[in-house]
Amino acid sequence: MISYRLTQYAHGGGCACKIPPGELEQIVAGLTGARPEHPAGELLVGLGTGDDAAVVGVRPDLALVATADFFTPVVDDPYDWGRIAAANALSDVYAMGGTPVVAVNLLGWPREVLPMELAAEVLRGGRDVAATAGCHVAGGHSVDDPEPKYGMAVTGIIDPARTLRNDAGRAGLPLSLTKPLGIGVLNTRHKATGEVFPQAVEAMTALNRDASVAAVAAGITCATDITGFGLLGHLYKLVRASGVSAVVDAAAVPYLDGAREAVRDGFVSGGSRRNLDWVRPHVDLSTVEETEALLLTDSQTSGGLLVAGEVSGGVVIGELIPQRDNAIVVKIGQALRGIPRAEPDVVPRPPAVVCTP
């Protein structure tokens, strides 16, 4: 039986293939503000802040969450790639505090190059992860594509009064990270060498459901997930949208086993380097070396949540502070000591409304 290395059939892998954040913002800059005729619901979260998913209110106690995410192979095993891509797409709903309800597949496949049996394995992996999430998979769309691509468009539900947003951060709130970093450099090493890293696959296939539920239950209002733009890239979008700054303790950031060795050996994706170029003008990186900065902008695929608050299972890696010239300050060890702290603005929230499909 022929063994196929799926990562060799694409120019890049996973969320590292995203269009660079600066370029993407220029592309969508003119798309905000448009309003449809006679909309069926109110747009509560759209393009304005670059949040993880769109939210449309349909009733005072119910809103829809919509997202789409797909990418080229990040691992060689087709079943694992399907699982990872599905977990990554579902993560956008969890990052908003929602519950996934239904997904449709998005598949691009070089049908004259790779066997369709492999595509079936990819779809099986996506189906199995969606099933674990309690999310229906109902059809989708496929095209003949020079490179293999897979993902999902996901629709979920949410209580609009208990939405997690990236523009709701307040000075004085701690920053918690729910998955270790290093996925990008390990995937880059895998693509180059064929080495398999089970710890990276385990991290990428883990759902962000529990962290999302815990954040909503704790009354937290601000979160985002860490994917293609890396920790500092997604944090920069959060503090910019919230009108605050942040301090990050580089020594507190958790990493997967082998991540530091991978970046030391030069296995850094072009996407991670572009992330660093984008955030460098806005981040004080004077206390860390270039390799540390690259890890902090490492392009994650199906990474964890970054939550403005303390959440079960998360590691506190910094805090939000009043706005200053540098949007983000990175320090090593004792990063929170001596930083002027402000009491977070706490807005009372109504009791939870349990939404069911």
Residues 6+ apart with CB under 8 A from 133: 90, 100, 207, 209
Q: What is the pLDDT of residue 90?
A: 98
Q: What is the pLDDT of residue 334?
A: 55
Instruction: Judge whether 125 and 78 are in contact, CB under 8 Å.
Output: yes
Q: Is the pTM of this model over 0.75?
A: yes
pLDDT per position as a tens digit, 258-298: 999 999 999 999 999 999 999 999 999 999 999 999 999 99
pLDDT per position as a tens digit, 102-136: 999 999 999 999 999 999 999 999 999 999 999 99
Q: What is the pLDDT of residue 49?
A: 79
Q: What is the pLDDT of residue 48?
A: 78
Q: What is the pLDDT of residue 14?
A: 60
Q: What is the pLDDT of residue 347?
A: 35
Instruction: Judge whether 121 and 79 are in contact, CB under 8 Å.
Output: yes
For the record, the structure tokens of 306 come out as 């970054």
Q: What is the pLDDT of residue 266?
A: 95
Q: What is the pLDDT of residue 38?
A: 82
Residues of the chain with pLDDT under 50: 1, 335, 337-357
Instruction: Judge whether 71 and 149 are in contact, CB under 8 Å.
Output: yes
Q: What is the pLDDT of residue 34?
A: 72
Catalytic residues: 15
State the DSSP string of 288-353.
Answer: S-HHHHHHHT---SS--EEEES--TT-EEEEEEES--SSSEEEESSSTTTT-----------PPP-
